[in-house]
Structure 1
């Protein structure tokens, strides 16, 4: 019980510190200021996504073979190095190195941290509590995002964009300190003889499990739909004054926070598969209503009102199906597929938006997300324990 309480508490604060980035809303502006080009700034964001995708599978294998705590610490140290690079960059080259480092750090955490939480509960014989604890841990992301955005805007206005980035190093240093306090859960199951054999075993495990196969695709499709976050501000700016965009973001994070906090209770009552299905259905309907006839009320329902509930339900279903010895690798494979789909959907939606307008681009993203509904329905009727 002590290890569960300690790891859950520290994971929550780790997530808060990791996403307390004052530069969040102005990162593109900072990149453009340093490089002198918006095109160069956009290319840096693209490289960050690509580097994260490239490192996904190797870091997942590393986590399964070397341990959750060490992988978490490594990611925190690399993230500090990335932020130091951002803060001190005189031009494009150092920023490029920094975004690659951030991509590596993100990959080190992506499959690892959820596996750390699940393994902690599994060791104590309490894996059925995953949804409740994961909802609390992940809600800390939303608090950090909601608080950091307005503070960063004030600091940027009073001092400079670079000051905002420099101050954002401090929470990342705190992540290193927190990670050292994590206790390593026991490793379950023997490891394969080599990293390649381990990866092959993980791939066969996904291919041979129909529920896991479909859930991996649902996870990837949901992640690809997050590309709407890059286009949605353009839509909202056509309906609300520019100064209100920050309030819109804060409202969205607040709704997500509530969803994460309530997810354990909802999943306990309705089951993970049913929560995922109806969460996705609700979000699809809400977004189509918001887009089909835009009004001043559309931004309030646009996005993913059920994001917190659906995300924890998705993670619960995935963690139940992952094998103990390949848990992080399987999670990283799902993240890799999601990153690839994200890039394709974002590019396609951008091209459609340029040709037919922002509403058409957002509709394309919703059309892609619709593919997840029949898959979620199948999981609802076949997944074990909810």
Structure 2
């Protein structure tokens, strides 16, 4: 921790205040070092794996509050309790509702009530969140405000949690019809990524996470795009599990490249002081589309629609060729993602762009793909241009354009 304290008036001899010359202004400056760990670790709930409780010494009377969503409780609740019992760790499990419609302050309050009821020692007993991105956002936000900072460990069980929601610093919940309107920057002390959890997801939720992987591919990793283009349909069907025949594991490379690419962009700008962020690609129009379409669209599906629209905008500007646009939309189809929705009209898109401008300090700072694997920012997208792109995207969807 570096710090400094400056005043605008001098003190007298010996550091005492001089009568008639009071100090009336202080400037306080402090820098806090932030360190957190993201680790790939398979078989987390195996009884021989101590990764979740590696900070518990033998002989300690350890206690943990574990927060899960209703899906995780159904699929893994018994294994979670057995795991902590096996290691002699007292465990209380709080089950929250699952899904974006339940991502609100009411659930944050439920976590806070459990923290109080469990009597957690915030110095030595990190909260453990096991679930999807929605759950991690709720628990992370609650941990950040409970007694001003309570350590937590996150274990994402969905693909979107593995490659996106589970690796950054942001927490947040929806409020008054707006996505993630209330939140903080508060990374988990440790994030454990176990790909085997994906085996129990349905294909739609795998597609949901593949949208965020495609985002990284389009704006910074052409190799990753090629992997999705070649193997995407198979990875979807196999839920990104390792092939049993020992063949080359494209799933491992896809997941690793996606996580590394995301962290590479987040690390130097963790608190988002710089507003031009390529990882905002797909997130300019999608928040409004997603909230208006609830519960019809998942987060990644709304992101995919945003990416399809901005790819068409980029094509109209000569940043992307028609063949590159065709490949992008084809990969989306192969990944089971939508590239259009009936809400994708100027009536909704124009206000969505205005909302984005308000949150990006008065400028669009709109990332657009430049070819496949890189991006540029623009600040001059017009409403007419947006209307034209939305119409072309609709025509492409209904087969009226090539």
Structures share fold, TM-score greater than 0.5: no
Larger Rg: 2
TM-score (norm 2): 0.27
Higher helix share: 1
